[in-house]
Copies of this chain bind each other. A is one copy, B any other.
Amino acid sequence: MTVSVISKKSVTWIGQNLAAKIDQELFTKYGFKVEQLMELAGLAAAQAIASHYSRGKVAVLCGPGNNGGDGFVCARHLQQFGFNPTIIYPKESRNDLMKNLVQQCHTSNISIHQTLPNNLKDFNLIVDALFGFSFNPPIREPFNEIIKNVVESGIHVFSIDIPSGWNVETGIPSSAGENQDQAYIKPHAVISLTLPKLCLQNWTGPHFLGGRFVPQGLVDEFKLVMPKYPGFEQIVKIDDVY
């Protein structure tokens, strides 16, 4: 199955504040439950991965927040699509949302580990769901070390929404004059959720977009230009086509 392509210029690129505002309104004014939108986000990420990579062993790195939650949902759908996912979940969250996601994956026979496996090279792909658009530097341990090991492994990384360690607006830390010792993911491909964030404006690798759920009222309120999804697809690809 092929994924339709849209132009970089045909969507609004958003910063950290607007991303947070949109998220907040979806849950308050528009009455969405985080579980609903997370299910669609994780499904879109899994679809993007399935459209781009061969089936095989995938390590899904899940942070303690909602980006990590997207990772859990993505892992579940990847398994349904014939992949063999393993979850790396270094810092367990105590909230019920994350506990339920752990239970779903655990009972789906997806193994969950606290540290990177020694045999990282056995994996065909690593999904980066450590930090999302609400991340603010610095990255603390054990995540800094994990990211360094992932980058050193040379294995292809697929980032969900934000490549972990990047500034949501300015991109890789060194380019913003930030602490250069901070590790950051060098992704092979990325999926943006809802709308692409500013940090990816100069990104030239594969770039998917998912999140076909934004209500028209929200589009009008923030004057957003939404992507034109074809048919009944949940994802498109962003490229330099005009």
Contact = CB atoms under 8 A, between A and B. Distances in A.
A51 B233 CA distance: 11
Given A29-B107, A36-B35, A36-B39, A232 B81 contact: yes
A40 interface: yes
Contacts of A234: 43
Contact of A50 (B30, B99, B231): B231
Interface in A78-118: 80-81, 99-104, 107-109
B39 A217 contact: no
A102 B31 CA distance: 9
Given A30-B107, A43-B234, 15 more contacts: A29-B107, A30-B103, A30-B104, A30-B108, A31-B99, A31-B104, A32-B100, A33-B33, A33-B35, A35-B39, A39-B39, A39-B40, A50-B232, A80-B212, A81-B231
Interface of A: 1, 29-33, 35-36, 38-40, 43, 46-47, 50-51, 76-77, 80-81, 99-104, 107-109, 212-213, 215-217, 229, 231-234
